Amino acid sequence: MHASRQQLLTTLAHKSFRLGEFKLSSGGTSDYYIDCRTTTLDAKGSRLTGEVFCEEIKQRGWKAQAIGGLTMGADPIVVAVSVVSGELNGFLVRKAEKQHGTGQRIEGFREKGARVVIVDDVCTTGSSTVQAIEAAREFGFEVVGVMCLVEREEAKGRPSVEKAAAPAPFVSIFTANDVRKEHLLQNDDTEPGIFAVAATCELCGRPAVTNNPRSRCAAHNVS
């Protein structure tokens, strides 16, 4: 796995993944929750997100002019990719048209006919991703690809997004199972200390050298 991709996975598992009992926006319940914004709004996490998405777009050969998605899960991803790429413009899709001013739903880059990539942080039912795809096409963009940071692989999210995106492909950077495995690995007390890339010491904020059983720097690490 590419270094940036592995570091991003490690950060997601450390900062964004929680085990417990949670109610989802879809109305269902789950024994885990992934809040990607604690990673995509983190300084290092944002950079890693931008690098991984840019690399994926490049490898796919999509030759997009802009990247965007439904506010607010997509917002930090859009900014990170735009900044890291230095050439991909960003746009945000409102959940509804403004009731004042210009009344537009697409904010930021607005060039009809442009090739764009739609992004989202987590895909469960896929409804937010589908909304962004539909709004982008209604505006006049050509959707060439769709990406999410984490796919939960449930609630028929992938089929819904693939149907809405077609003929553009839908790509997930990680699955929820990928993040869960990494999280369990980081918190397995039966294993030797594991270096947590991009993690910080929970006591002083300096770079951590281990996250097992706690995120600690060299000064505060105890066996």
* Average per-residue pLDDT for the chain: 88
Q: Burial-class residue 48 by CB neighbours within 10 Å (0-12, 13-18, 19+).
A: buried
Which of 107, 79, 80 has its CA nearest to residue 93? Answer: 107
Note the pLDDT of residue 199. 60
Give the pLDDT mean for 85-114. 88
Residue 12's pLDDT band, with cuts at 50, 70 and 90, is: very high
Note the pLDDT of residue 190. 43
Note the pLDDT of residue 197. 41
CA dihedral 192, 193, 194, 196 (to 10 degrees): 170
Give the pLDDT mean for 117-122. 98
Tell me how far apart the alpha carbons of residues 45 and 56 are, in angstroms, rounded to a whole number.
16
Out of 145-154, 170-179, 195-204, which region has the weakest mean confidence (pLDDT)? 195-204
User: What angle, rounded to 10 degrees, do the helices at 3-11 and 176-186 form?
Assistant: 80
Higher pLDDT, 220 or 91: 91
Note the pLDDT of residue 155. 78
Task: Give yes or no for residue 212 having a pLDDT over 60.
Answer: no
Give the pLDDT mean for 208-216. 60
- Considering 25-34, 140-149, 196-205, the range whose residues carry the highest mean pLDDT is 140-149
Give the pLDDT mean for 46-50. 98
Angle at Cα 139 formed by Cα 136 and Cα 140, nearest 5°? 90
3-class SS of residue 206: coil
Give Cβ neighbours of residue 24 (< 8 Å, ≥ 6 apart).
Answer: 30, 33, 124
Give the pLDDT mean for 72-93. 98
Q: What is the per-residue DSSP string for 24-36? A: -TTS-EEEEEE-T
Whole-model pTM? 0.81
